[in-house]
Amino acid sequence: MIINKFYILEKRQALNEVYKEINNLELDELFNVITDIENKTLTTIVYVKDFGNVDVINDEIINALERKKIKLNKFWITEEVLEQLNYTSVNKIYDQELVKYKFYVKILKKENYIFVIGLALSSISEIISIINKFIILIIIFSIILNWVIVRVNSYMIIKPLKNIKVLSKDIASLNFRTENIKTGDEIEDLANSVNDMSKSLEKAHKELNTQNLKLKELLCNVAHEVKTPLSIIKVYVQGIEDGFDDGTYLDVIHDEIHKIDGLIENLLLWFKIGREENEKERVDLFKIINENLHKYKLVFDENKLKVDVNICDGLDYFVFSNKDHINMVFENLLTNAIKYSNDKRIEIFLNKENEKIKFRIINVIDKIEDDMEKIWIPFYVLEKSRDKNFSGTGLGLPIVKEILEKYEFEFGVKCTDNKFEFYIDFN
């Protein structure tokens, strides 16, 4: 058996080391350090004089071993061994069958003394059997422990993954919820990413629904705005066919077609502004205001409107924006003031304050709406504008809002004592 041979080889090397140490010492010195050598090498060393009688020698050695508490059932040095000691050392293994161990000795002769260096050999097969049983127990325990660890780890990994899978299915079904998973590893990071995705999708879904509702409402309003002039056109065409035309029917039809054309043009303009890139240029607000006031001078005179313009002199009013877009803003705000001015007076203010150019246009109206923010809604108009003399498409202020938000200018409305004020703060 390989292990048994290796075990004996190791013990032989140990005996050889003691043998070398004994040979290197003088006899008197050796007798004084034998106990130290025994303690250091964990061996038993006995010695007797060579009496020339093998029986006496064996008895003396056995007695010396017993004095060191080594009792052997089998031990004997033969005549042949004694002969060999004259020129070499001898290794012997004595099997102590009753006590189930072996005694491994190295016998040597130094001057006229015979030395026996011995050590006990445990039953290696029994040790190996015990070790094997212990290893089997360790293997069984390791298998059970690994099984438990694998089950626990699998549960810790699979359960959150299942929860993430269910969460993904819920998100796919538009059930935007989150899952609280705390594992402290990549699975938690994955869960957090899915939760963030769920929140983002929920927000986007709500915004999309809001936009869809606005689009439906817009389409309904467009249909309503188009339906009225089309109905009028249909009636007047039928009147022409029936011979009731008094010479004004075609004018009415042309007016209604013009309304539809203006509505479509404003719709296209509104959509176009939202899609266009912000191509900015240096725009002179003072010049644009004056151009619009000159453009509508005849309208002011015709409606007997007084326009008070308050612009601080000596200042420049340049902003970086799109000239055409800014012109649309002022034109829409001016026409809006003309339509709703109750006291035939419009006030316009332009000045600079804290690195901002502040614009105000104020007029008096009959009635203040409960929620003035509705004026930014497409096709929302005040009651006074229902009069044919104050007709419009209902898209002027939404276009203003689209432009000002596009360039990130601050704007809004204020109402105090029936005074209606639009304000814009240009950066």
DSSP string for 33-53: HHHHHHHHHT-EEEEEE--S-
DSSP run (H or E) holding 311: strand 306-311
Whether the Cβ atoms of residue 352 and residue 312 lie closer than 8 Å to each other: yes
For residues 12-16, give the mean pLDDT: 89
Write out the two tokens for 17.
């080391």
Element of type H or E holding 291: helix 285-295
Considering the domain boundaries, does residue 254 fall inside one? Answer: no
State the distance between the two ends of the chain, measured CA to CA, in whole angstroms. Answer: 97
Q: What is the pLDDT of residues 270-286, one digit of tens each?
A: 777 777 777 788 989 99
C-beta separation of 86 from 111 below 8 A: no
Tally: H helices and E strands in the chain: 11, 11
The model's confidence at residue 141, banded by pLDDT at 50, 70 and 90, is: very high
Alpha-helical segments (H) within 173-185: none
User: What are the distances in angstroms from CA 423 to CA 159, 371, 413?
Assistant: 58, 17, 6
What is the domain range of residue 104?
A: 2-122
Q: For 405-422, what is each residue's pLDDT tens digit?
A: 888 899 988 887 778 889
Query: CB-based contacts of 285: which residues, under 8 Å, 6+ apart?
Result: 317, 318, 319, 326, 350, 357, 359, 426
Sort 223 into a burial class: Cβ within 10 Å, 0-12 / 13-18 / 19+.
Answer: exposed
- Residue 232: inside a domain, yes or no? no
Distance CA 382, CA 185 (A): 60
The per-residue DSSP string of 219-265 comes to HHHHHHHHHHHHHHHHHHHHHHHTT---S-HHHHHHHHHHHHHHHHH
Which of 122, 138, 170 represents a domain boundary (last residue)? Answer: 122
pLDDT in tens, 313-333: 778 889 988 888 899 899 889
Mean model confidence pLDDT for the chain? 83
pLDDT of residue 368: 63
Q: What is the CATH number of the domain that holds 377?
A: 3.30.565.10
**pLDDT greater at residue 183 or residue 110:** 110
pLDDT at 98: 65
- The answer to whether position 214 is within a domain reads no
Identify the band that residue 390 occupies on the pLDDT scale cut at 50, 70 and 90: very low
Average pLDDT of the residues in 364-385 = 67
d(CA 177, CA 197): 10
pLDDT category, 348, cuts 50, 70, 90? very high
Q: Which of 179, 159, 157, 183 lies closest to 168 in space, CA to CA?
A: 179
Could you tell me the pLDDT band of residue 378, with boundaries at 50, 70 and 90?
Answer: confident
Write the pLDDT tens digit of every residue in 42-100.
889 999 988 788 888 888 888 988 888 888 878 888 888 888 888 888 888 887 766 66
What's the confidence (pLDDT) of residue 125? 64
The answer to whether position 141 is within a domain reads no
Report the distance separating Cα 102 and Cα 107, nearest Å.
16
Q: How confident is the model at residue 384 (pLDDT cuts 50, 70, 90)?
A: very low
* CB of 417 closer than 8 Å to CB of 397: no
Residue 388: per-residue pLDDT: 42
Whether 60 maps to a domain, the answer reads yes
Domains in the chain: how many in total? 2
Is residue 386 over pLDDT 50? Answer: no
Q: Is the pLDDT of residue 357 over 80?
A: yes
pLDDT above 90 (res 139): yes
76, 58 contact by CB (below 8 A): yes
Last-in-domain residue among 98, 122, 146: 122
Give the pLDDT band (50/70/90) at residue 140: very high
Dihedral-angle region of residue 100 (phi above 0 means left; psi in -120 to 50 means alpha; beta otherwise) = left
Residue 265 lies in a domain: no
pLDDT above 70 for 385: no
Higher model confidence: residue 341 or residue 196?
196
Among 95, 122, 149, identify where a domain stops: 122
- Has residue 383 been placed in a domain? yes
Residue-wise pLDDT for 185-195, tens only, equals 788 888 889 88
CA distances, 136 to each of 123, 142, 316 (Å):
20, 10, 96
84 domain-assigned: yes
Give the separation between CA 413 and CA 426, rounded to whole angstroms. 15
Q: What is the pLDDT of residues 206-264, one digit of tens each?
A: 888 887 887 787 777 778 778 878 888 888 888 888 888 888 888 888 888 888 887 88
User: Quick one: tokens of 78?
Assistant: 């033969």
Instruction: Report the share of the chain in percent with pLDDT over 70.
Output: 91
Whether the full predicted model's pTM is greater than 0.85, yes or no, is no
